[in-house]
Amino acid sequence: MKAKTMLGLIACASACVSLSAFGNETNGWFGVQVENAEIVHPNCATNGAAVTIEGSAIKLEDASLGIDDFASAPASDGIVKISATALLTPSSTSDFDVSGSPKAGFAVGVDNLNATNFYGYASNSWHKLTGATPGAGETSFSMILNYRDKVVSFYVDDVLLTSEDPLILDANSLASISASGSGSITSVTGAYEVAVAAYGDKKYGSIAEASSAVKAASAADPTATVQVVNADGSTEDANAVAANGLRKIVCEALGLPMDVSTTNIVVAPAAVDANPAKITLALSMPDAPEANAVSFQISDGDKYSETCDADQIEIPLAAGTYTITPVLK
């Protein structure tokens, strides 16, 4: 399709302004697509731009389709993934639009050497992206907006695109999306990573990430510092204790109910014990969401204390009463 201007996807954000792989639990958030020859947009609004519907695609000719008024996402950890399938019309990079105070964007551009590449908008400018080559048909791409760590990343299908420049996200939240120019859009969807743990003023999609943040920032004990984030986005106090006496954050990692006083970790003699100096125990936690985020302290409360992983729990043969306590790594 010969077009007057490129079709690019721009994400704008509020004015107050380790890369996540978006691999933790995610929730679908909003979407825009065509159903029964009409645009549907659950959990968001569109601006009623002058568009036409061709099959399952939204066709734009020098128009700007705006998407905003997103449903609230209190359970988000601040990492948002915007995905789209669209026919992106190439345009000269000298004609790239930066109006509307964008924070992130994606487009196909032709440089002064007549080379066609994907481009990403970040750090207040457009950057050439490498790792995939624009084709003649539709492109399925994603922008991962990491508001927590202030970085943005770009994917075509499942391929991460890279830039020689830092891709900084100068924003705190998503305010709107604009698809501007000429081309067609099959769908635009948004999802967010679900927060399960918090440290300081930041939320994380895994307890292991939160523990790593604690250790990178201080010598504090993650077990006493990482907070549970509830399903409604509210945060438990650090060092909060569940009904069974264990830290709530440990119960969260091991999938133990918080309100049952008799619930505990389950260990038993291992079927194969190759250590003649100690008794090897096997841990039974088949439904633990993050067993790998937890280690186990073996102590007699006096002279003996050792920390081991779940598959290496061993207690001495010497007489005594040994306590096994799960803690965050």
pLDDT per position as a tens digit, 285-326? 878 899 899 999 999 988 899 999 988 899 998 888 999 999
Scanning the structure block, which residue is given the tokens 């700007």? Answer: 64
What average pLDDT does the segment 176-188 reach?
90
Structure tokens at 190: 């948004």
Decide if pLDDT at 141 tops 90.
yes
pTM score of the predicted model = 0.86
**What is the distance between the alpha carbons of residues 242 and 240, in angstroms, rounded to a whole number?**
7
Round the average pLDDT of the chain to a whole number and report it. 89
Q: What is the pLDDT of residue 302?
A: 86
What average pLDDT does the segment 125-150 reach?
94
Structural domain boundaries in the chain: 8-194, 197-328
Decide if pLDDT at 12 tops 60.
no
Which pLDDT band, with edges at 50, 70 and 90, does 284 fall under? confident
% of the chain at pLDDT higher than 70: 92
Q: What is the pLDDT of residues 23-54, one digit of tens each?
A: 688 999 999 999 999 999 999 999 988 899 99
Q: What is the pLDDT of residue 29?
A: 96
Q: What is the pLDDT of residue 128?
A: 96
Q: What is the 3 state secondary structure string of the chain?
A: CCCCCCCEEEEEECCCCCCCCCCCCEEEEEEEEEECCEEECCCCEECCCCCEEECCEEEEEEEEEEEECCCCCCCEEEEEEEEEEEEECCEEHHHCCCCCCEEEEEEEEECCCCCEEEEEEECCEEEEEECCCCCCCCEEEEEEEECCCCEEEEEECCEEEECCCCCECCCCCEEEEEEEEEEEEEEEEEEEEECCEEECCEEECCHHHHHHHHHHHCCCCHHHHCEEECCCCCECCCCCECCCCCEHHHHHHHCCCCCCCCCCCCEEECCCCCCCCEEEEEECCCCCCCHHHEEEEEECCCCCEEEECHHHCEEECCCCCCEEEEEEC
The sign of the torsion formed by the CA atoms of 108, 112, 113, 114 equals positive
Which pLDDT band, with edges at 50, 70 and 90, does 3 fall under? very low
Burial 103-126 (b: 16+ CB within 10 A, else e): bbbbbbbbeeeeeebbbbbbbeeb
Residues in the chain: 329
Decide if pLDDT at 190 tops 60.
yes
What average pLDDT does the segment 269-279 reach?
88
Decide if pLDDT at 255 tops 70.
yes
Q: What is the pLDDT of residue 72?
A: 95
Is residue 169 classed exposed, middle or buried when 0-12, 13-18 and 19+ CB atoms within 10 A define those classes? buried
Burial 228-243 (b: 16+ CB within 10 A, else e): bbbeebeebebeeebe
Decide if pLDDT at 230 tops 90.
yes
What average pLDDT does the segment 87-109 reach?
84
Looking at residue 275, its amino acid is: N
Decide if pLDDT at 99 tops 80.
no
**What is the distance between the alpha carbons of residues 123 and 166, in angstroms, rounded to a whole number?**
8
Instruction: Look at residues 124, 134, 227, 218 and name the one whose alpha carbon lies nearest to residue 167.
Output: 124
Which one of 2.30.110, 1.10.3470, 2.60.120, 1.25.40 gives the CATH number of domain 8-194?
2.60.120
Pair 23, 34: CB distance under 8 Å: no
* 24 or 80, greater pLDDT: 80
**What is the distance between the alpha carbons of residues 309 and 249, in angstroms, rounded to a whole number?**
17
